[in-house]
Structure 1
Amino acid sequence: MGRGGDADAMPDEFSLIERLFEPLAGPEGLGLKDDAAVFTPRVGYDLVLSKDAIAEGRHYLSSDPPDTVAKKLLRVNLSDLAAKGATPRGYLLSCAWSAETPLDWMQAFADGLEEDQSKFDLSLWGGDTIRVSGPTVFSLTAIGEVPSGRAVTRSGAAPGDDLWVTGTIGDAALGLLVAQGEYAGTEPEDRDYLISRYRIPQPPVAFGKQLSGFASAALDVSDGLLADLDHLCAASQVGARLDRSAIPLSPVFKKCTTSTEERWGLVYGGGDDYQILFAAPREKQERVVDLARAANVQVSCIGCLTEAQDVVVLDEAGQSIDVAPAGFSHF
């Protein structure tokens, strides 16, 4: 930990790195004492890299516990790797701490990273840490590997493919509202579940490693189900028929969203789900289900892809319904 003196006093930059981040470094990071990391990918594998940033007040609340902020930062990137069929190996981290961030918050943040490193089997390879006058901002680059030529992109889907999604949709968006003080009548256990889904995504990393064996296209659901489906369809030059009744919703979500308009608004455009939306040829259905069961991941077939390059949402009676454009955008 510290090297003498007041345990709560802010150390200098290099002592801070030694205290917080050196214990997280893998051999590729050279003890965080060099100018760069050195990594030799395995023969027959391609590197897959993903980068995301999260900002205080924009992607997480100032009241969120620091360990959950760290886990969210790491997991939103691991979600991207999972959607490419990649195995995580390491990450680069940049921290722009607000001037008000205390040392104990930083330490708890590092502890959260350490817990998830163990859970997902990867390590810190390097980065940067600075102080800023505005809110805290973190940026993380995740590095993974996938067998050469087997990365799953957004652009490989074909008409007739089934459309699948992992996990459940809408919990995180509702959890944010609950964390902000809405839904005051929510039962404590339901409140805890929903806020946890907002603070700590659950990307299906183990299942993602299997994607290249069956998926024709994939991406993670981060901006909202309909927005991300639009991205997949545009890249693959296909359309989609989405069966609303097949979209997986958790029991807690259904219990807490009594208004139909409210419920589907959160499902279509709430975002922050960090599940995998993927296409697969119809003959792969059994394989998809078997691999999901082996990975202990819920999968749901929610529609199919079409030649007509539009997205049509079908209600419970199979009738098309008008849905306003939905999804998160920074601009």
Structure 2
Amino acid sequence: MSSSEFDLIESIARSQSARRDDVTLGIGDDCALLNVPAGMELAVSLDTLVSGRHFFADASPELIGHKVLAVNLSDLAAMGAEPAWVTMGLTLPEPDKEWLAGFMRGFSVLASKYGVQLVGGDTTSGPLTVSLQAHGLVPAGKAIRRSGARPGDLVYVSHTIGDAGVALAMLQGRITATDELDTLRQRLESPQPRIELGIALRDVATAAIDLSDGLASDLGHICERSQCGAVIETHRLPLSGAVGTLSDWRLAVTAGDDYELCFTIDPSQQERVTQLSQELDLRLSCIGKMRQQPGIDFVSDDGSSESGLQGYDHFPESDT
């Protein structure tokens, strides 16, 4: 099916439903014109999803549209930012209007939920790749950074971890598939950004990050930026029944694509976190504590400890 780039852009512009009053000029010009409210800071993040790397080549366009927006909103959530606008770079093997319509349906459902407007971008020809830049708003001085954790802070994660990793292992044949594959695959292909939690943590968390590459790596980023370490108690890790049955905690802390929030708090805020868990109807689990000594130790019930675990790496060092 042939179509000009202009037709594709028009199709994208028509298919989005969210419209914001703070967009002076959106799709259709060389640049978008946006109004940043007084007293707010602009949080900006960009993620690229590549076919065969971040999603299966035969994945439905609706799921791809959802995921590319969800993973970017997850970055905003980690900093306590409220989503506002996005720009998108879309590379397609061919100008398939049916595929694009499905992609925009998945994108628009999530965009409408959080009031996100697509305000510009670019289309080009090539291997299927989607890059999205998300823009969010956070009150000046209230953004949650990776660098604020201190020794003695408690470490929390939201919901459960490892489900996406087990789903991927099943789909790749590394773990025998079970009846729970469909549920686990939903966690892999349709992650839910924790926007409400991130905003609620602005005055609670000392540091936060979203779990895209696995707890071992992502908590490591907090440790590095905060110049401290952590001790994680493996029996406290929030694992679903499927993960606990089919794998062990190592996969759960090294597999990516959870897109849950990992955050640290001063112990005095523990009761507030319990309240937030109830208010948001979201499991929030204390899994360990920050310490002065660098590195992360994963301590089991029997007192044994493991360190040096790593999550997903796009560019692992070669052994040769």
CA distance 1:29–1:330, shift in 2 (3 Å): farther
Deviation at 1:140, TM superposition (A): 0.3
Which SS does the other structure have where 1:155 is aligned? helix
What residue number does 2:318 align with? none
> 36, 50, 55: which one pairs with 2:31?
36
- Partner letter of residue 128 of structure 2? T
Distance in 2, matches of 1:228 and 1:48, equals: 19
Deviation at 1:39, TM superposition (A): 1.1
1:77-116 equivalences under 5 Å are 77-99=72-94, 102-116=96-110
> 42, 54, 65: which one pairs with 1:70?
65
Distance in 2, matches of 1:280 and 1:124, equals: 34
- Partner letter of residue 123 of structure 1? Q
Superposed CA deviations along residues 198-231 of structure 1, whole A, max 9, x for unmatched, are 1011221111111111000111111111111111
Which SS does the other structure have where 2:210 is aligned? strand
> 144, 154, 163: which one pairs with 1:152?
144
Distance in 1, matches of 2:64 and 2:24, equals: 23
Work out whether residues 312 and 320 of structure 1, in 8 Å CA contact, stay in contact via their aligned partners in 2.
no
- Partner letter of residue 305 of structure 2? I
Work out whether residues 178 and 194 of structure 1, in 8 Å CA contact, stay in contact via their aligned partners in 2.
no
What residue number does 1:315 align with? 300
- Partner letter of residue 163 of structure 1? V
Between stretches 14-23 and 135-144, larger displacement belongs to 14-23
> 265, 270, 290: which one pairs with 1:305?
290
What residue number does 2:134 align with? 142
Superposed CA deviations along residues 23-61 of structure 1, whole A, max 9, x for unmatched, are 326352735111111111111111101100010011110
What residue number does 2:115 align with? 121
Whether 1:60 and 2:55 are equivalent positions in the alignment is yes
Unaligned segments of structure 2, at least 5 residues: 316-320
What residue number does 1:251 align with? 241
CA distance 1:236–1:31, shift in 2 (3 Å): closer
Deviation at 1:320, TM superposition (A): 3.7
Deviation at 1:80, TM superposition (A): 0.6
CA RMSD after TM alignment: 1.6
Q: Percent identity?
A: 37
- Partner letter of residue 138 of structure 1? V
Deviation at 1:186, TM superposition (A): 0.4
Whether 1:286 and 2:280 are equivalent positions in the alignment is no
What residue number does 1:276 align with? 261
Superposed CA deviations along residues 74-104 of structure 1, whole A, max 9, x for unmatched, are 11111110000110011011101123x6321
Equivalenced residues, count: 312
What residue number does 2:163 align with? 171
Whether 1:13 and 2:10 are equivalent positions in the alignment is no
Whether 1:161 and 2:153 are equivalent positions in the alignment is yes
Work out whether residues 88 and 130 of structure 2, in 8 Å CA contact, stay in contact via their aligned partners in 1.
yes
CA distance 1:183–1:278, shift in 2 (3 Å): same
Whether 1:48 and 2:43 are equivalent positions in the alignment is yes
CA distance 1:193–1:321, shift in 2 (3 Å): same
- Partner letter of residue 169 of structure 1? I
- Partner letter of residue 158 of structure 1? R
CA distance 1:230–1:185, shift in 2 (3 Å): closer
Work out whether residues 28 and 120 of structure 2, in 8 Å CA contact, stay in contact via their aligned partners in 1.
no
Distance in 2, matches of 1:323 and 1:310, equals: 7
Distance in 2, matches of 1:38 and 1:26, equals: 14
What residue number does 1:328 align with? 312
CA distance 1:12–1:180, shift in 2 (3 Å): same
Which SS does the other structure have where 2:187 is aligned? helix
Unaligned segments of structure 1, at least 5 residues: 1-8, 258-262
Distance in 1, matches of 2:300 and 2:204, equals: 28
Which SS does the other structure have where 1:322 is aligned? strand
Between stretches 152-161 and 175-184, larger displacement belongs to 175-184
Deviation at 1:183, TM superposition (A): 4.1
What residue number does 2:230 align with? 240
Distance in 1, matches of 2:311 and 2:244, equals: 20
Distance in 1, matches of 2:304 and 2:140, equals: 41
Work out whether residues 70 and 109 of structure 1, in 8 Å CA contact, stay in contact via their aligned partners in 2.
yes
What residue number does 1:260 align with? none
CA distance 1:328–1:10, shift in 2 (3 Å): same
What residue number does 1:267 align with? 252
